[in-house]
Amino acid sequence: MIRFLQTEGPVKKIVLSGLLLLICAAMVIAFVPGIGTDTGTPGRGILAKVNGEDITVQEVRDTARQMAQQQAQQYGANASMLLPFLMQQATQHAVDQLIDRQALLTEAEHLGLKATPPEVKDELQHGRYSEYFFPGGNFIGQAEYESMLQRANLTPATFEESVGKELQISKLQALITGSASVSDAAVRQEFNKENTKVKFEYAVLKEDDIKKGLHPTVEELKAYYDSHQKNYANSIPEKRKIKYAAIDTAKITAGVQVTHDELQAYYDQHRDQYRGAEQVKVSHILIKTPLAGPDGKVDEKGVAEAQRRAQDLLKQIRAGANFEELAKKYSEDPGSAKVGGSLGWIGKGRTVPEFEKAAFSLPKGQISDLVKSSYGFHIIRVDDKQDAHLKTLDEVKAEIEPILKQQKTHAIAQKQADDLLQQAKTQGLDAAAAAKGVPVVTSDFFSRKDVVPGVGPAPQLMDAVFTAEQKSPPAMAATSQGFAVFQLLDVKPPSTPTFDEIRTKLEEQFKNERASTLLSQKTQELSDRAKSEHDLKKAAKELGATIETSDFVLPDGQVPDIGSMTGQASVAFSMKPGDISGPISTGANGVVLSLLEVQAPTDADFTAKRDQIHDTLLQGKQQEIFELFVVNLRDQMQKSGKIKINQDELKTLTRAGSEPGM
């Protein structure tokens, strides 16, 4: 249930990742200085001028970094490795976004569109920030409001000005897109397109079956090799051979001790990290309420029934019934029900507001009245409470000790590697390693993508080895296990493999290409025969294809051996019963369809979905109109000289794709 309360919806993801990131992003993207009059050429550190206002390189970097960090969240543990790549992608988006935003603000000012203080206040109270500043409709208080903004290095004045500029752009967008409309015929057409089902029989030819029948001769493979020699030129990468002595941190760690004074010093320097937030340990019973239907309405009878069931459970608990047993038997949160309703410790900002308010307001040992949230009715029991406090050294010693041990181990290993390197430069690696009692290993030849035995993945070592010159003195590089002092012994340059060396690979590539070609030809023949004979089953039997029949399927459905109907198979939705399709490629299969039946959606379905489809189409048309307006506005401002871009800074920025230090 803790996962259930910490839903992964867009709003709660923002809650979990922190309101500060939301505010910072809003500031960087939307808070642009007022319109000026200077139209000079952008100078150093200025990416662009829009109607005389500067967009700095640092603004672009900040915006790109926030975009990249938000995108990186979906990659979990791999986020840090992907961040530089994501920064490259985000940088050009940030450039375009900041220029477009400033251009829109210029146009809004030109048209006299303003945001009044009451409008800003209304936006804060009822718009995208209301959940944070006005939870449940109640203001969090001026002190908390200012404190929250201060943590993002903002003042109320600057933040509210940024919100005002967001409103200016919203007003401009509403003005530009206000004339957009969608006809009833377009709504009906889109509804029919999305909800019409088809049923068909289909013949399938599999590339794997064709490949099994291919047995190329030596002559065919040699001819293939000769015709593709360019593909194999220097395909065997450069390889190098080294001898090395490894300093293994695992061996050092065992002898490293951390003193109490060292623990105390680290703790004193990092006290802010060990301030524990207020927490409660809770259990609950959930009775779910029905979800909204396609029309957006909720079954009120279902809600009342859920409330009645929850109220009955609460009465039993108040009368002395066992909370854990009732949770196991009746709670509709499967994650916590099996452990008697326990959610463990939770902090603020980790659950839905209604649940959090009740959980943190109850004394230890108390049971709540019914608490209604978007999920249903909760009965909450507070099992324990912990006030916000500074954790003692004893509480965090187990966290600090490994950090200090790792730091000391790394320092010792680096010192040993440095000493070994200096001695190896004067005495030779073998003699220096012998004096230190470290074994010297001579490797086989390896490529940059290989793993050196006994070292493990070591990108820094590989970089050092493959940039070293022959006969160069010993060098040192970090490895995943510590450090290595190495000396380059020999280099094998890239080479082209002989026919015999890659015969197995050649045969596989030959079969893949040949099977793909034959599949395409055979699928075309299957379609041609089926059409001429008006009989897909007969043609399939003649060519050894498998015949299948689909269920009724929607345009976004999936069919075995075909996959998604949004690909080439979407032709089925433009066919009439009895029609036979052309050849369809689904990757590893070739398919031909014969349409059996079309099932049109009902008028009742249309009535239920009409408003939703209308709104979706209207939003799409509005977005299209506004995007075209932005493109034209920017183009006009560039032609008139109101937008000036510093091409030198742009090239440097997009080439680097990151900020200094990333």
Mean pLDDT for back-to-back runs of 10 residues, the chain (662 residues): 33 36 44 41 83 88 83 68 75 91 93 91 87 83 84 85 93 92 93 96 96 95 94 93 93 90 91 82 93 74 93 95 95 89 86 89 94 92 88 89 91 95 96 95 94 86 94 93 95 95 95 96 97 96 96 95 95 97 95 97 92 93 94 94 89 61 42
SS3 sequence, 505-528? HHHHHHHHHHHHHHHHHHHHHHHH
CB 496 within 8 A of CB 263: no
* Encoded amino acid at 200, one letter: F
pLDDT at 429: 96
pLDDT at 28: 41
pLDDT in tens, 465-475: 999 998 899 99
pLDDT at 140: 84
| Total residues found in the chain within this entry | 662
pLDDT at 23: 46
Long-range contacts of 497-503 (CB under 8 A, 24+ apart): 497/232, 497/235, 497/236, 499/221, 499/222, 499/225, 502/225, 502/232, 503/221
Please check whether the two domains, 2-180+620-656 and 197-211+502-599, share a CATH topology. no
pLDDT at 386: 85
Topology of domain 2-180+620-656, per CATH?
Triger factor/SurA peptide-binding fold (1.10.4030)
Q: Could you tell me the pTM of the whole model?
A: 0.55
pLDDT at 424: 96
CB 106 within 8 A of CB 51: yes
CB 490 within 8 A of CB 240: yes
Nearest to 456 by CA among 431, 483, 476: 483
Cβ contacts of residue 483 below 8 Å, gap of 6+? Answer: 246, 247, 413, 414, 416, 417, 476, 477
Going by the DSSP 8-state scheme, the letter that residue 415 receives in this structure is: H
Topology of domain 197-211+502-599, per CATH?
Chitinase A; domain 3 (3.10.50)
Residue with tokens 């009715």: 377
* C-alpha separations of 327 from 287, 365, 497 in Å: 10, 16, 68
Going by the DSSP 8-state scheme, the letter that residue 222 receives in this structure is: H
Cβ contacts of residue 441 below 8 Å, gap of 6+? Answer: 243, 244, 245, 246, 453, 454
Q: Where are the beta strands (DSSP E) in 128-265?
A: 197-206, 239-248
pLDDT in tens, 490-539: 999 999 999 999 999 999 999 999 999 999 999 999 999 999 999 999 99
Nearest to 481 by CA among 410, 424, 422: 410
CATH code matching the domain that covers 278-387, chosen among 3.90.180.10, 3.10.50.40, 3.40.50.1220, 3.55.50.30? 3.10.50.40
Q: Which two tokens stand for residue 651?
A: 């090239």
pLDDT at 77: 59
The total of other beta-carbon atoms located within 10 Å of residue 498's CB is: 10
Long-range contacts of 227-231 (CB under 8 A, 24+ apart): 228/509, 229/496
- Domain ranges for the chain, please list them: 2-180+620-656, 197-211+502-599, 239-258+395-492, 278-387
